[in-house]
Amino acid sequence: MALHITQDCTACDACRPVCPNEAIATGNPIHVIDPLRCTECVGAHDEPQCKLVCPANCIEVNPDFVEDRAQLEEKYNQLHG
Ligand code: SF4
Ligand code: SF4
């Protein structure tokens, strides 16, 4: 499951530098997560780093991108291969 950012985002930019996959981009007006790059931090960290640092609590799972842990690990390996 990739994560996505809701309209409550304040574009504070805290999340973008902590993403191990460079999956977060500056959008207009809110930041955007590329679901093809987000692994929920599987492969790099125990929990999603963007959610940890987000002061607006506006990062949720993206129901359109359902993936199990093995798929997320494979995705991470392909990104960093
Ligand atoms: S969950 Fe991890 S990989 Fe996905 S956008 Fe957040 S920091 Fe990046
Ligand atoms: S940390 Fe949260 S509020 Fe800040 S830019 Fe990222 S998603 Fe938006």
State pLDDT tens for residues 21-80. 999 999 999 999 999 999 999 999 999 999 999 999 999 999 999 999 999 999 999 999
Task: Find where tokens 């996959």 sit.
Answer: 21
Read off the pLDDT of residues 15-25 as tens digits, 9 standing for 90 and up: 999 999 999 99
Tokens 């409550």 — which residue?
8
Q: DSSP 3-state assignment of 8? A: coil
User: In CATH, what class is 3-80?
Assistant: alpha beta
Q: What residue spans define the domains of the chain?
A: 3-80
Radius of gyration of the chain (CA): 12
Strands 3-5 and 32-33: unpaired
**Atom number of ligand 1 nearest to Cα 18:** 7
Q: Which residues line ligand 1 (CB under 6 A)?
A: 3, 18-21, 23-24, 33, 38-41, 48-50
pTM of the predicted model, to two decimals?
0.95
